[in-house]
Amino acid sequence: MQWETVIGLEVHVQLATRSKIFSGASTAFGAEPNTQACAVDLGLPGVLPVLNEQAVAMAVQFGLAIHAEIPEVSVFDRKNYFYPDLPKGYQTSQMYHPIVGPGEVEITLEDGSTRTIRVHHAHLEEDAGKSLHESFSDGMGHAMTGIDLNRAGTPLLEIVSEPDMRSAKEAAAYLKAIHSIVTYLGISDGNMAEGSMRCDVNVSVRPRGQETFGTRAEIKNVNSFRFVERAIEFEVERQIELIEDGGEVVQETRLYDPERDETRSMRTKEEANDYRYFPCPDLLPVVLDGAYVDHLRETLPELPADKRARFQDGLGLSAYDAGVLSASREMAEYFEAVKDACGDAKQAANWVQGELSGALNREGLAIGDSPVSARQLGELITRVMDDTINGKAAKQVFQALWNGQGESADAVIEAKGLKQVTDTAAIEAMIDQVIADSPAQVAQYRDAEPDKRGKMIGYFVGQVMKASRGTANPQQVNALLKEKLDALC
């Protein structure tokens, strides 16, 4: 049987506010346990929440970025359950009237094709604290868990997709698209390792052609692009095998274990939850007037999808290049600076994605940490385009700049004597010398069928380039060699 995978994602994005969603405590990462948990975060008796305006603004910006409806009124509800990292015994969230209504996100697949994934809604809520399962004990030998509530109350935007994705790759592409939108907007640092972005994945399978959805499993708290893909791949295979063996998928929560590369059921001795949502009586309805939303709309930066379209249609880049170069705001800004410096988008794209990305990947650096600045790279490309240096020399210049051996491309070219030789007389002299030193190769060339000669010329080119220490203009070398050798035939 042919199976179709159906995937929906709930992405939790930590918003980059300075203070918490309902209190004035800092959201900075990595503080000593419970030093950033104030009276409100701890849920001390008598405390009350007051909503952070920046969290609201960021949520609305996200909504505008995905062309979502922004309802005039949104309401906070309480989701009631007991857990040690949830100080008040309820999480303040938005169940019935979220701040962001239906919208859509465009994703780009590896082949450059795009698809639209619908977003059901996005809502604001508070994060919980953290449980630390270290070796604490209660003095009677019982193992204890330590609770750190620094994270409690950090604003989260939960973005809930429709079940529109049909493969692990699409899910990963969707997650990347969300990542790039929130980082473009600057509403989150998008740091998945620190938990700034995490997602719950709903996966089901159904026979191809069937309309109704299969029973889904929810994989909780996946925190990297790669894990999302692998968790889904494992889960899809598990579900298909299960059904084909005559079993049934049960609706449950599962965890992905990256070390074993598998998902497994969370122990469900707990009965189904009943969260008893009701409107939080400590908070009033949030009303956003049109002028406020319009103001935020006007101040939105250019977003990934728009940038991608401009790179493709305006700059003439391929769909693939446009996608890669617009994926992050830093990458796009770097690329555009290189392009502005050299005046050629295609060359800039090739260099950024080729030499630069290769070097960055080798050293595990982000684009923001590149030792070669966009201005330096742009100048280097200019020198290739105006024939000051050839491609081979350009790589040497790049390496020198990467290693900090020169302030600019020109300085490196000068210092290393890499300036291209384009003087015809000088090149001819080198060619004559090579021909004179290679009688056997010249004889072979002469005896070969004319259509085989093209390949044989490479040897002579190599010798001439070697003689010029790489500085001869390869096109000129080629043309002059062909002329001289053919004259000998």
Partner 1 sequence: MHDKTLTELAAGLAAGEFTSRELTEHLLARIERLDGTLNSFITVTAEQALAAADAADAARARGEAGALTGVPVAIKDLFCTEGVLTTAGSRMLADFVSPYDATVVERLKAAGTVSLGKLNLDEFAMGSSNENSAFGAVKNPWDSRAVPGGSSGGSAAAVAAGLAPAAMGTDTGGSIRQPAAFCGITGLKPTYGRVSRWGIIAYASSLDQAGPMARSAADCALLMNAIAGHDHRDSTSVARGVPDYTEELAAPLAGLKIGLPREYFGDGLAPEVEAAVREAVKVYESLGATVREVSLPHTHYAIPAYYVIAPAEASSNLSRYDGVRFGHRCKNPSDLIDLYKRSRAEGFGEEVKRRILIGTHTLSEGFFDAYYKKAQQVRRLIRQDFLDAFEEVDVLMGPASPTPAFDLGANKDPVAMYLQDIYTIAVNLAGIPGISVPAGFAGGRPVGLQILGTHFAEPRLLNVAHQFQQATDWHLRRPELAEETA
Partner 2 sequence: MALEHADVLRAAHLARLGLTDDEAAHYQADLGRILEMVDRLQALDTEGVAPLAHPLDTTQRLRADEVTESDQRDRFQRSAPAVEQGLYLVPRVVE
Grouping H, G, I as helix, E, B as strand and the rest as coil, residue 115 is strand
Residue spans of alpha helices (H) in 208-310 = 225-244, 290-298, 304-309
Count of residues in contact with partner 2, rule CB under 8 A: 53
Considering only the C-alpha atoms of the chain, give the largest distance between any 2 of them, rounded to a whole number of Å: 100
**28, 250, 266, 284: which one binds partner 1 (CB under 8 A):** 284
Structure tokens at 186: 């600057």
**6, 31, 242, 283: which one binds partner 1 (CB under 8 A):** 283
**38, 99, 122, 481: which one binds partner 2 (CB under 8 A):** 38
Count of residues in contact with partner 1, rule CB under 8 A: 31
The partner in contact with residue 443, picked from partner 2, partner 1, none with C-beta cut-offs of 5 to 8 angstroms by kind, is none
Q: Give the separation between CA 105 and CA 26, rounded to whole angstroms.
A: 31
385 binds partner 2 (CB under 8 A): no
For partner 1, which stretch binds (CB under 8 A), given 106-114, 164-172, 243-251, 281-289?
281-289
The partner in contact with residue 389, picked from partner 2, partner 1, none with C-beta cut-offs of 5 to 8 angstroms by kind, is none
Residues 87-126 that bind partner 1 (CB under 8 A): 87-90
Rg over CA atoms, the chain: 30
| CA distance from start to end of the chain | 66
Decide: 206 and 213 in contact? Cβ < 8 Å. yes
Say which amino acid occupies 451.
D
Closest among 64, 87, 77, 89 to 124, alpha carbons compared = 77
Cβ at position 338, least distance to partner 2 in Å: 35
48 binds partner 2 (CB under 8 A): no
Grouping H, G, I as helix, E, B as strand and the rest as coil, residue 222 is strand
Q: How far is CA 32 from CA 29, 130, 133, 161, 342, in A?
A: 10, 12, 16, 35, 48
Decide: 30 and 37 in contact? Cβ < 8 Å. no
186 binds partner 2 (CB under 8 A): no
> What stretch of H or E contains 221?
strand 217-222
Closest to partner 1 by CB, 42 or 472: 42
Closest to partner 1 by CB, 139 or 246: 139
14 binds partner 2 (CB under 8 A): no
Closest to partner 1 by CB, 139 or 450: 139
Cβ at position 145, least distance to partner 2 in Å: 5
Residues 31-90 that bind partner 1 (CB under 8 A): 39, 42-51, 78, 80, 82, 84, 87-90
Closest to partner 2 by CB, 17 or 376: 17
Cβ at position 182, least distance to partner 2 in Å: 17
Structure tokens at 314: 């305006």
Q: How far is CA 344 from CA 96, 384, 385, in A?
A: 51, 11, 9
Q: Give the separation between CA 391 and CA 383, rounded to whole angstroms.
A: 10
Cβ atoms within 10 Å of 405's Cβ, excluding its own:
13
**66, 147, 156, 394: which one binds partner 2 (CB under 8 A):** 147
The partner in contact with residue 78, picked from partner 2, partner 1, none with C-beta cut-offs of 5 to 8 angstroms by kind, is partner 1
159 forms beta bridges with: 11, 122
Q: What are phi and psi of 8, to 5 degrees?
A: -130, 145
100 binds partner 2 (CB under 8 A): no
Which residues contact partner 2 (rule: CB under 8 A)?
17-19, 23-26, 32-39, 42, 44, 50-56, 75, 80, 82, 84, 131-133, 136, 138, 142-149, 255, 266-267, 274, 276, 279, 281, 283-287
Which residues contact partner 1 (rule: CB under 8 A)?
39, 42-51, 78, 80, 82, 84, 87-90, 138, 140, 142, 147, 274, 276-278, 281-284
